[in-house]
Amino acid sequence: MLRTGQKPGKGTYACMTCRHRVTIKDDETRLPFCSRCGYGTRVRWRKLG
């Protein structure tokens, strides 16, 4: 499980609350807040695939 602000590397991640997906394209990009459910820093992401 990953938190907003971590740098998990390239991949597609899904919000565990609403399943909104984000794609991260490089190793320096941090996981964002979820723009759909607005859970802010409490959002948990999981890697897809």
* List of residues contacting Zn ion (CB under 5 A): 15, 17-18, 20, 34, 36-37
CB of 26 to Zn ion, least distance (A): 22
Question: Given CA atoms 42, 7, 14, 20 in this order, what sign does their dihedral have?
Answer: positive
Residue 27 vs 41, nearer CB to Zn ion: 41
d(C-alpha 37, C-alpha 49), whole Å: 22
CB of 30 to Zn ion, least distance (A): 16
CB of 1 to Zn ion, least distance (A): 14
